[in-house]
Amino acid sequence: MWTLSEEQQRAFHRHGYVVLHSALPLEQLRTLRNDCEQLLDELEELDLLSDAGCVIEPMLNGRMTTLPTETHRQCQYDAAAYSQQRWGERPEGAVLLCHHLPRLVAQLLPSASDVDGSAPRLCLFNEQYIVKPPRTQHQSIFAWHQDGEYMNETCQRVPTVACWIALDDVNEAATYNAWHDARAARYSPQNAHDVQAVSETVHSLALTAGSILIMSARVRHCSTGNGSGRTRRAYMPQYSAGVVAGPDARPLALAVPCDCPVPTSYRGTS
């Protein structure tokens, strides 16, 4: 389940993304949906469109913001602290984020040692929910962009990928993601920026709930607004081949290592 075929790996390195249709087990899909709804309940005063731009980052919103400063900072780089504080009695969430998804992206990203000579370490770099309210076709549009363009040049040298997970069915009546100017995502050990444009084709995707879109930070993409009568939710954790640090040498977002053992309390799908 958590192994990519050679064909899927080639697709990613050629186009910059690969789609795994209906890949997430129902147990973990429910965990993410429940977590999203809990966050929305905690942020009931928040206007998703005007205040949040349809994006909710769990580390910056809701219950995580009530933690003591030092505890919150520890959750940025300590896997045990992150798992306990972020997921508590729902170990299946931590297992998905720190074990199962990393097994997928590790097959696509170079090791940290290939990038900067350090000991290999795959990190959870960031996580966010994208929640588009119903009948917001003209307000919940995401314009063309690349995830990497929001980081400075130094941070961009650390390769990152996103796992965009549909929590609801995504179709043309609701919202779909289109991928444009796809760029090869194979990183050279000598040059993390060694990518080249290989296509100018726009690809529109309709995804069922539980589908996972793994995407390089260099792929230009957008999404339409939600014109349906139901809220459309997606979850997007991002992973990095090493720590993405800011000017002060602290993690730009998260730097949670993904090579820790599965919690003994977890008894779900391996």
List Cα–Cα distances, 121 to 19, 91, 116, 166, 253, in angstroms. Answer: 24, 22, 11, 27, 16
The boundaries of the domain holding residue 154 are: 26-257
240 contacts: CB under 8 Å, gap ≥ 6? 109, 122, 123, 125, 158, 159, 160, 255
| pLDDT range class, residue 194, cuts 50, 70, 90 | very low
In a domain, 21, yes or no: no
In angstroms, the CA 130 to CA 181 distance is 23
In a domain, 12, yes or no: no
| Mean pLDDT in residue range 198-214 | 79
Q: Tokens 């309390």, residue?
A: 265
Query: Tell me: the pLDDT tens digits for 43-60?
Result: 988 899 989 999 999 999
Res 154: pLDDT: 65
In angstroms, the CA 227 to CA 93 distance is 30
Q: Is 208 helix (H, G, I), strand (E, B) or coil?
A: coil
In a domain, 75, yes or no: yes
Res 250: pLDDT: 77
| Mean pLDDT in residue range 12-39 | 93
In a domain, 195, yes or no: yes
Res 75: pLDDT: 93
Query: Tell me: the pLDDT tens digits for 96-151?
Result: 999 999 999 999 987 645 455 555 479 999 999 999 999 998 899 888 888 877 77
Which has the minimum average pLDDT: 2-16, 105-119, 154-168, 220-234?
A: 105-119
CATH number of the domain within which 106 lies:
2.60.120.10
| Mean pLDDT in residue range 166-172 | 84
- DSSP letter string over 208-240? -TT-EEEEETT-EEEE--B-SSS-EEEEEEEEE
| Mean pLDDT in residue range 159-178 | 78
In this predicted structure, the answer to whether residue 182 has a pLDDT above a threshold of 60 is no
End-to-end Cα spacing for the chain: 9
The answer to whether 240 touches 160, Cβ cutoff 8 Å, is yes
| Mean pLDDT in residue range 35-39 | 94
In a domain, 83, yes or no: yes
More confident residue, 163 or 186: 163
In a domain, 10, yes or no: no
The continuous run of DSSP H or E covering 74 comes out as helix 69-74
Query: Tell me: the pLDDT tens digits for 218-249?
Result: 888 888 888 889 999 999 999 998 888 877 77
In angstroms, the CA 251 to CA 107 distance is 23
In a domain, 15, yes or no: no
The continuous run of DSSP H or E covering 8 comes out as helix 6-15
Q: How many domains does the chain have?
A: 1
- Quick one: which of 166, 176, 170 has its CA closest to 142? 176
In angstroms, the CA 91 to CA 104 distance is 19
More confident residue, 89 or 259: 89
Percentage with pLDDT > 90 across the chain? 46
Q: Is 41 helix (H, G, I), strand (E, B) or coil?
A: helix
Computed over every residue of the chain, the mean pLDDT equals: 81
In this predicted structure, the answer to whether residue 262 has a pLDDT above a threshold of 60 is no
Query: Tell me: the pLDDT tens digits for 59-82?
Result: 998 889 999 999 999 999 899 999
| Mean pLDDT in residue range 203-225 | 87
pTM of the model as a whole: 0.85
Compute how many other C-beta atoms are within 10 angstroms of the C-beta atom of residue 233. Answer: 23
In a domain, 226, yes or no: yes
| Mean pLDDT in residue range 18-39 | 94
The continuous run of DSSP H or E covering 162 comes out as strand 160-166
